[in-house]
Chains A and B, each alone.
Chain A
Amino acid sequence: GENVEQHPSTLSVQEGDSAVIKCTYSDSASNYFPWYKQELGKRPQLIIDIRSNVGEKKDQRIAVTLNKTAKHFSLHITETQPEDSAVYFCAVEYGNKLVFGAGTILRVKS
């Protein structure tokens, strides 16, 4: 089935520390894995994505890693800042659509 599990549901870190959010999925045929950031009252914003032909992708302080064998992928945020506080959603492309994880509330304490 089309299943995406996301952990943890909430994450509190001290400013400057790293944050890691992990998602697992069920369909080995899936090839596209985006991450979205949603601030309070705003639309979800695509912040980074990865396709199954690569294992890792970085963009400044954020990175995504993919393990296709184990069917999981993770978002890594380094040197966290207060403006990183938001809800983060992973997603998996199943066929022609995206299925979203339940979300992770990230709080960065200054």
Chain B
Amino acid sequence: SAVISQKPSRDICQRGTSLTIQCQVDSQVTMMFWYRQQPGQSLTLIATANQGSEATYESGFVIDKFPISRPNLTFSTLTVSNMSPEDSSIYLCSVENTGFSGEQYFGPGTRLTVT
């Protein structure tokens, strides 16, 4: 499977600021996704990052709060904007194994704490 990396691995941020998380894959993939995992909870899809077009957001998530970029087939960023303590969570990117619908592999995650 693809090797997926995320930066930063963790960060502590002040409320009102923004943080951009990077996701890098070692091979070209069509589908990339961003998830949030709050402490002790399951994985919630934020959006699907589409190469060359705007991301597709899930109910409850908006572009102004979580802008996403997907400039090419190996890279994506998620920005958490105007942060509040409720945004403290782990953010994970995932990629779909091209040709195998639904088969997703996750990056190591970014642990965000907002104070």
Which residues of A are interface residues toward B (Cβ below 8 A)? 32, 34, 42-46, 49, 89, 93, 96-103
| Cα distance A34–B97 in the bound complex, in angstroms | 13
Contacts of B107 in A (CB 8 A): 43
Q: Is the CB of B43 within 8 A of A44?
A: yes
The A-contacting residues of B in range 94-115, CB under 8 angstroms, are 101-109
| Cα distance A100–B36 in the bound complex, in angstroms | 12
Residue of A whose beta carbon sits closest to that of B33: A97
Interface residue? B42 (CB, 8 A): yes
Given contact pairs A34-B103, A93-B101, A96-B31, A43 touches B92 in the complex (Cβ within 8 A): yes
Contacts of A97 in B (CB 8 A): 33, 45, 48, 58
Which of B31, B102, B103 counts the most chain A CB atoms within 10 A?
A: B102
| Cα distance A44–B101 in the bound complex, in angstroms | 18
Interface of B is mostly: loop
Given contact pairs A43-B92, A102-B42, A103-B42, A93 touches B106 in the complex (Cβ within 8 A): no
Contacts of A46 in B (CB 8 A): 103-105
Residue of A whose beta carbon sits closest to that of B92: A43
* A-B residue pairs in contact (CB < 8 Å), sample of 12: A34-B102, A44-B92, A44-B106, A45-B106, A49-B102, A93-B101, A96-B48, A97-B33, A97-B58, A98-B45, A101-B42, A103-B42
Q: Is the CB of A100 within 8 A of B105?
A: no
Q: Is the CB of B101 within 8 A of A89?
A: no
Q: Is the CB of A89 within 8 A of B106?
A: no
Chain A nearest CB from B20 CB (Å) reads 20
